[in-house]
Amino acid sequence: MSNKAKLIIGDNSYEFPLIKGTENEVAINVKTLRGATNGVITIDPGYKNTGSCESAITFLDGEKGILRYRGYSIEELANKADFLEVSYALIFGDLPNNEQLAKFKEDIKENSLVDDDVRKILEAFPKNAHPMGVLSSLTSALTAFNPAFVNISSEEDMYNAVVRILGKFPILVGWTMRKKKGLHLNYGSKSLSYVENLMYLMFKHPNEDFQMNPIIKRALDKLLILHADHEQNCSTSTVRIVGSSHAGLFASLSAGISALWGPLHGGANQAVLEMLEAIKADGGDTKKYMAKAKDKNDPFRLMGFGHRVYKNFDPRAKIIKAAADEVLNDLGIDDPILEIARGLEKEALNDPYFVDRKLYPNVDFYSGIIYRAMGIPVEMFTVMFALGRLPGWIAQWKEMRLKNEPIGRPRQIYTGENLRPFTELENR
């Protein structure tokens, strides 16, 4: 294949270089397009055909159902590593050795307190506030308690920022849930691992000893790993674009949390459960909801189905489905919601509407079922996704800043009024 692309506009022809990735993905580099063509730009709503960067963090092949972080397959990582090992690999490029991992875990523990004044901010929120709004606000508020900007050219500065946010985030997650449940706000315990501590922060009751359930712990670890990065999705692109103005790390993460909240992105895990509950309350007629999803005059979509990139299967959904079966069996939970989910999945996988459009269950179709079995309230599901995605956002922010990428600033094609005279108020 030639390493150039030819573009013909009217009588003129232009050549643009091709860029090839390490997995042979190809892009046309249009950096010089506007200058060379006297103002012509490309337009691509939703960026369905637009690469925003070159990145060495995550590779995914939507046709083949492949997902790899830093070259390691998601299947191996989910089965062999823990969340902090995966976080280290995402942020620093390689899996840590024993010494690096031990230090990383210790440094995160050393940073696992937040200023007690954060508690006052949380207390000001109404109890029925959505946890994602609360989490985004508290993450932004951390900037006020850690005002020093990360000096991106200092490895030490960046490392300290990483362990600081990874240490503090589980407290924000735990407190957000405790506030919702009306429980007192606790600090975790340094004697526990990261995921154990998260469970302690979320589930420790004031008048009971804390019982660690190893099945839940392993499933939670796996879920966090599966969510840890997903290349240039909506929230990650948000983190990169906010950071491209040289806004700080915590502020950029807070923006990412807001982007994740929407039901077409991370909010889908809450929307799936609410949809399954609604179908159950309506008599469990899955066929009725399949018909609604296919009706172009009905805004209803089958939540947890379809993906911008995966057009065969979502490899994360495969792992989660197996984990959901394991958790429900081990905990002895017989959830009627699961039957509805299985029914919908079976029908969709055999329905030409879904087959032709390559719509398959995505990561969120089963994650909510596991969270529910763990006793996590439905409004907290997307918060769990945010904690999982944290290392990915940090890795992408760091990569973008280290490459000194220009400020993200798309152009547009204006379609409004042409110049017209101002009409005085009395004449309008």
**In the complex, which residues of this chain contact ligand CMC (CB under 6 A)?**
46, 230, 233, 264-266, 268, 293, 301-308, 357, 359, 362-364
Instruction: Look at the chain and count its residues.
Output: 428
User: Least distance (Å) from ligand CMC to the CB of residue 67?
Assistant: 11
With CA atoms as reference, report the closest residue to 249 among 108, 330, 151: 151
Of the pair 200, 305, the CB lying nearest ligand CMC is at: 305
Of the pair 26, 264, the CB lying nearest ligand CMC is at: 264
Is 151 within 8 Å of 120 (Cβ atoms)? Answer: no
Alpha-carbon distance of 3 to 6, in angstroms, equals 10
For 102, half-sphere exposure in the C-beta direction (CA atoms, 13 angstrom radius) is: 3
User: Least distance (Å) from ligand CMC to the CB of residue 340?
Assistant: 16
Q: Which long-range contacts (CB under 8 A, 24 or more apart) does 88-94 make?
A: 90/57, 90/58, 90/228, 90/229, 90/391, 90/392, 90/394, 90/395, 91/162, 91/391, 91/394, 91/395, 91/398, 93/56, 94/70
Alpha-carbon distance of 22 to 396, in angstroms, equals 18
Q: How does DSSP classify residue 425?
A: G
Instruction: Classify each residue of 304-342 as buried b or exposed e, where b means 16 or more C-beta atoms within 10 Å of its C-beta.
Output: bbbbebbbebbbbbbbbbebbeebbeebeeeeebbebbe
User: Least distance (Å) from ligand CMC to the CB of residue 48?
Assistant: 7
User: Least distance (Å) from ligand CMC to the CB of residue 296?
Assistant: 7
Alpha-carbon distance of 387 to 372, in angstroms, equals 17
Of the pair 115, 351, the CB lying nearest ligand CMC is at: 351
Q: Which residues contact 237 (CB under 8 A, 6 or more apart)?
A: 47, 52, 259
Q: What are phi and psi of 43, to 5 degrees?
A: -130, 135
User: Least distance (Å) from ligand CMC to the CB of residue 276?
Assistant: 13
User: Least distance (Å) from ligand CMC to the CB of residue 314?
Assistant: 7
User: Hey, is 288 helix, strand or coil?
Assistant: helix
Of the pair 19, 355, the CB lying nearest ligand CMC is at: 355
Of the pair 119, 357, the CB lying nearest ligand CMC is at: 357
CB-count burial class (<10 Å; 0-12, 13-18, 19+) for 104: buried
Q: Distance from CA of residue 150 to its chain's centroid?
A: 23
Of the pair 265, 398, the CB lying nearest ligand CMC is at: 265
User: Least distance (Å) from ligand CMC to the CB of residue 293?
Assistant: 4
Q: Which residue is nearest to ligand CMC (CB)?
A: 306
User: Hey, is 5 helix, strand or coil?
Assistant: strand
Of the pair 58, 137, the CB lying nearest ligand CMC is at: 58
Of the pair 264, 402, the CB lying nearest ligand CMC is at: 264
User: Least distance (Å) from ligand CMC to the CB of residue 15?
Assistant: 31
Give kind and range of the element (H or E) at residue 228. none
Alpha-carbon distance of 68 to 229, in angstroms, equals 9
Active site residues: 307, 364
CB atoms within 10 A of CB 53: 15
